[in-house]
A and B are shown apart, each in its own frame.
Chain A
Amino acid sequence: MYLLILAILIPFFFTALIPLIHNRVGSIHLGWLVLIVPLTLFSIFAVHIPAISNSDTLMQTVHWIPSLGINFTVYLDGLSLIMALLITGMGALVVLYSIYYLSSSDSFPHFYAYLLLFMGAMLGVVLSDNLLVLYVFWELTSISSFLLIAFWYHRKNSRYGAQKSLLITVFGGLGMLAGFLMLHTITGTFSIREIIATIGQYTDHALFYPTMFLILLGAFTKSAQFPFHIWLPDAMEAPTPVSAYLHSATMVKAGIYLVARFTPIFAGNAAWFWTVTLVGLVTLFWGAYCAVRQTDLKALLAYSTISQLGLIMSLFGLGSAALHFGDGEQGALYGLAIFAALFHMVNHSTFKGALFMVVGIVDHQVGTRDIRRLGGLMAALPITFTFAVIGSFSMAGLPFLNGFLSKEMFFTASVNAARLPIFGASTWGLVIPIIAWVASVFTFVYCMIFVFRTFFGTPQSKKADRKPVEPTLGMLVSPAILCVFIIGLFFAPNLLGDHLLRPALNGIIPEISGATPHIYAWHGFNTELFMTLGIVMVGTVLFLTFRSWIKIIRFQPAGWTFTAIYNSFLKNLKRVSNWITTHYMTGHLPSYFAYIFIFFTLIAGGVLIYTGALSIDVTSDSPVSVYEGLLTAVMVIAAISILFAKSHLSAVLLNGVLGFSIAIFFVLFRAPDLALTQLVIETVTTVLFLLCFLFLPEWTAEDSSKRTKFRNALIAIGAGVTITLIGLTVNSGKLFESISGYFENSYELAGGDNIVNAILGDFRAFDTMLESLVLFIAGLGVYTLIRLKLGKGSGKDEHQ
């Protein structure tokens, strides 16, 4: 019934199960049990392929907060299906690979819990139709990837990388949330479907451009686009299976997905076209350029991921022009770019996943990933070598591998873009194919470096830590499957094209129904083919003369990087916040109270006067009875007496007098629930006070100067007057109709005679639930503060 919603929740359920089962599985590797999850999910999504390729869509809704338009709506169309298949398919392969990769000293329960959490979050992102639900899952991917990157948290670099990725992606995510809220202000709905249907009327709205840029900020930070790409190389501190999963197949694709999903909302607009295209192209070039000068294989792959993501991003930018033209020949021509983007996205996942696994094998078997210490591994690792060749030649865009096809389509799209008649492309359009070509030359060079520097040349076994041999069969299965895809997709690309890519294209631009792109391996002697030939020639020359020019590229003044800016920003942030904190956190309770009350008086009192709400009307007030007057007198005397108390005990008891008097007030006003609660709370608080008694320091009379006393008196009187004024004003100034009439129907609506209880449990249960959560967290806080004293368990961390 709610199969898709369950599919999102299954990983979370399983995450919760892991702590319960991991001790019981005994000698079986936990990974084998976890593997069931992605396999099941993959088959759940795979059965939808026939229906989706017939242009069906599937929508399931569970109400969450319907009054605010926030519902857990799951929407499955071509685009979400292809993403879901990538997430679960790659997930299965990565789990399988990790079973052989992880060493027994790693904590399996943590690893698989984080991985499943991440998988569920990613599925939530790509399947949600509701903006806020999407945002919740979006941030959950940030958090779970933070945990995964910091998996080896005893290493300083892991913690640094995890923090960097969290700060940058959450920063973008918050911007995106602001964009989502603006989008809601513009259109009045949180449903992406409905927004797409109505957005045409709102393109002149004042918030339209801010919304667009804020949402792009989220997408760019998540997809590691220039200049936010700096977190991705540091995220490589994660275990290699994690890198393969997060940073080639899933997390970074979330930004790509977001751009694709929002294309119908913002496309057909020059600002969107140029922003997405140019950011993508700059990222493409910069990533490829930086990749060439890396010496660590994983860092090389990290920059290559950045570069490839830029490529996909720029294709989505180019393709957005199709929405300007709508149905027709022109629309189909530019819609091809989006088709190519989707195709390359799938291809990238296959070859990048395989390459990461190859690096993992090299690292695992040889003990190093440093290119300068590697070489001649072809004889020792022949199978791994084959995978490396297939993966990197596909990435370089060489024939007989799937990367070739999407690369050619990328060139087609960039050449088409140069001829684009709108958005001022006639003057600047030629820049696009030129950047694309130059970046591709660098791509070719680093792909060759990857293969030839690692596997050819003289074996450097003396420098390596271990004698390299081929790994166990299990480690080779996952890259082997990916390599089969890499080759298979070259020979039968239209199988994928017709069943998955075309529905996905229709999911993004449904207007262009006539567009049925066909993928050709041989497309004649045209510009694109000559561009490829040029790349191979220039790239080969550059690779052969590598040693003579690499020193120039590697030369870069320290501090001229975006990471340096990021670091200095963090350092200054720390300094400034430290300065502020030490100035207000004096450890002196009276000054804290002074701050709180000053702010309270200024803000609450200020608002009261500023808005003119201050109006006291006592005519309709009920008369004060003798009991109430007496009780008030008792309370006033007790409160004043606390100031002159001579010991802890009398202060605590006087405080108790105040509390119990309030309880009596509740009795007088016929609020038995409140009176009961107040009585029990007061009793428990007094017991708590008495327990703490032993640890309190000597009661010393405060010996402060007259000036301080005068200042404190002023603050106290100000706060008291403000509270009194608020109390007196509340009854006179009413901005809204009273809602108490609604609660009076508690018997009919909630079946309860007790209104207070009906409010707590039925009408406003959300408050109650969150309060109990707060109470729970506070309880845990007290427990950890007191029981688990600082210093335990932090001994094994590196403190470099």
Chain B
Amino acid sequence: MNINDVILKTVSKAVVLIILTFGIYLFFSGHNHPGGGFIGGLVIASAFVLMFLSYDSETVSEALPIDFKKLSGLGVLLAMTSGIAPMFLGGAFLSQSFGYFDLPIFGKTELATVTIFEAGIALTVIGVVVNIILSISEDE
């Protein structure tokens, strides 16, 4: 297909950035506002999907050398590990903890271990969604 998609390409360059930023914001704000690992991951994945749609997959693969299969595996592993780790510190499987810290720039900040778990979920979602869409779109 050789349609002239200059507009799509130009727009998506800017839009992808916005979507990515929004996705990352959603991911971190999840604990107190709408958002979280699953939604954040989905939004970031949709940014990648947009890139693959407006450019061909070779160009994007060159610019983004990520193996999305491995990424999803890493995500599952991270989520599981964050569940198993507290077992060795006397807690139950998947128990999470949080605390408030004074950080130099951010001031009083809440840090929660659940973020690690959520990061695992987000990576899984990104990996799986992009992987499925790539697989289907590259099928002959």
Contact = CB atoms under 8 A, between A and B. Distances in A.
A2 B36 contact: no
B10 to A, nearest CB: 20
Interface in A772-800: 772-773, 775-776, 778-780, 782-783, 786-787
A765 B87 contact: no
A773 B137 CA distance: 24
A688 B83 CA distance: 32
A680 B43 contact: yes
A695 B137 CA distance: 10
A761 B33 contact: no
Contact of A782 (B34, B43, B132): B132
Nearest to A683: B46
A67 B93 CA distance: 11
A754 B133 contact: no
Interface stretch (A394-402, A728-736, A745-753): A745-753
Given A765-B117, A779-B128, A673 B32 contact: no
Interface in A655-683: 672-673, 676-677, 680-681, 683
Nearest to B115: A761
A680 B136 contact: no
B94 A766 contact: yes
A492 interface: no
A783 B125 contact: no
Secondary structure of the B side of the interface?
helix
B87 A684 contact: no
Interface stretch (A48-56, A58-66, A138-146, A705-713): A58-66
B106 interface: no
Interface in B38-69: 38-39, 42-43, 45-46, 49, 53, 69
A692 B36 contact: no
B42 A760 contact: no
Interface size class of B (residues with CB under 8 A): 35 or more
Contacts of B121: 768-769, 772
Given A2-B88, A72-B87, A750-B114, A680 B46 contact: yes
A187 interface: no
B69 A751 contact: no
Contact of B92 (A64, A680, A787): A64
A691 interface: yes
A105 B106 CA distance: 59
B135 interface: yes
B31 interface: yes
Interface in A34-74: 62-67, 72
A782 B133 CA distance: 10
A775 B125 contact: yes
A337 B26 CA distance: 68
Nearest to B134: A783
Given A775-B72, A779-B132, 18 more contacts: A2-B88, A62-B88, A63-B87, A65-B92, A67-B92, A676-B34, A680-B39, A688-B132, A751-B112, A752-B112, A757-B30, A761-B118, A766-B94, A768-B121, A772-B79, A772-B124, A775-B128, A783-B135
5 contacts: A62-B88, A687-B53, A752-B31, A754-B36, A756-B34
| Pairs A-B, 3 closest by C-beta atoms | A779-B128, A751-B98, A753-B32
